[in-house]
A = this chain, B = another copy of it.
């Protein structure tokens, strides 16, 4: 694969350029082909039980936005990567990169919110490191977290279990995090009462774990629902068909996207889950989600069919179009 010469923002957007960068530099050197590309969290063999580990960086701009901030987002983002592989989060480490000149009262507020979110999820922050970088060499505050959780060793989840006719569900409306952060930047002159969906998805993932037909779960963050669908199709070699009319999208999100030319399918969520189940258990999965406060808008949004590897959107008018893999970065620093 031919690499570019310089890093661009597209190398961080969760789409094709980022995947190629990770494959050709990180996974190649580190002898770990699955690194970050297909795995939310990795299982460490340890005696008879399973320890699951994940790591995440956070660079969201602005640092505070309606519905969250970089502190609570770091907790929810890390917890969610453990939750979607069926683990219960337990420990977290925290790295902070602080830019010289950050207001200390803001740092205090952000770390307080991080701590509150961690406590609410029964996660202990057990180690930390702090670096300060010169003014102009940071974005105010970057965070890096590593989360450790425990998992029942009988849990079997992964894209490799996905089969044709399997059903795709989403736990709630998409694109709210991306839209709320975008509006918080105020660069568009748009204002609304949109809030980020950032939250722990642990109740949603735990609700489905006892379903024998549960194949795979993923939280659609950077790159959104379309990017999760692309990852599944690339790994499995199957075609994913999504039903546009069934995908829950709040009106304000759709309006903002219409005005600015964004496609909500590519916008980040930080509190939603995409699940793939056997067809005969999809209704039960949907019912379990809808029983939860955070799953009221859950929906069946597509299915898997025999290949080739591609993602097809069945439009509201009944037509079909190919969903491209993300290339241009609609929203850098969304998480």
Report which A residues bind B (CB closer than 8 A). 3-13, 18, 21-22, 24-26, 29-32, 35-36, 39, 41-42, 44, 46-47, 49, 51, 53-59, 91, 93-105, 107-108, 111-112, 114-115, 118-119, 124-134, 136-139, 142, 144, 146, 148, 332-333
Nearest chain B CB to A321 CB, angstrom units: 29
Q: In chain B, what residue has the closest Cβ to A22?
A: B130
Nearest chain B CB to A40 CB, angstrom units: 9
Q: Is the CB of A103 within 8 A of B6?
A: yes
Q: Is the CB of B30 within 8 A of A118?
A: yes
A-B contact pairs, 18 of them (CB 8 A): A3-B108, A5-B105, A7-B107, A9-B134, A10-B132, A12-B98, A12-B131, A21-B130, A25-B107, A26-B128, A46-B51, A51-B51, A57-B95, A57-B96, A57-B144, A93-B146, A133-B332, A134-B139
CA distance A55 to B127 in the complex (A): 6
8 nearest interchain CB pairs?
Answer: A12-B132, A144-B144, A146-B146, A55-B93, A29-B115, A95-B144, A57-B131, A7-B102
Choose among A53, A101, A108, A126 the residue with the greatest number of B CB atoms under 10 Å from its CB: A126
Q: In chain B, what residue has the closest Cβ to A6?
A: B101
Known A-B contacts A7-B104, A95-B95; A54 and B127 likewise in contact (beta carbons under 8 Å): yes
Q: CB < 8 Å: which of B13, B29, B98, B114 contacts A29? A: B114
Chain B residues, Cβ within 8 Å of A54: 93, 127
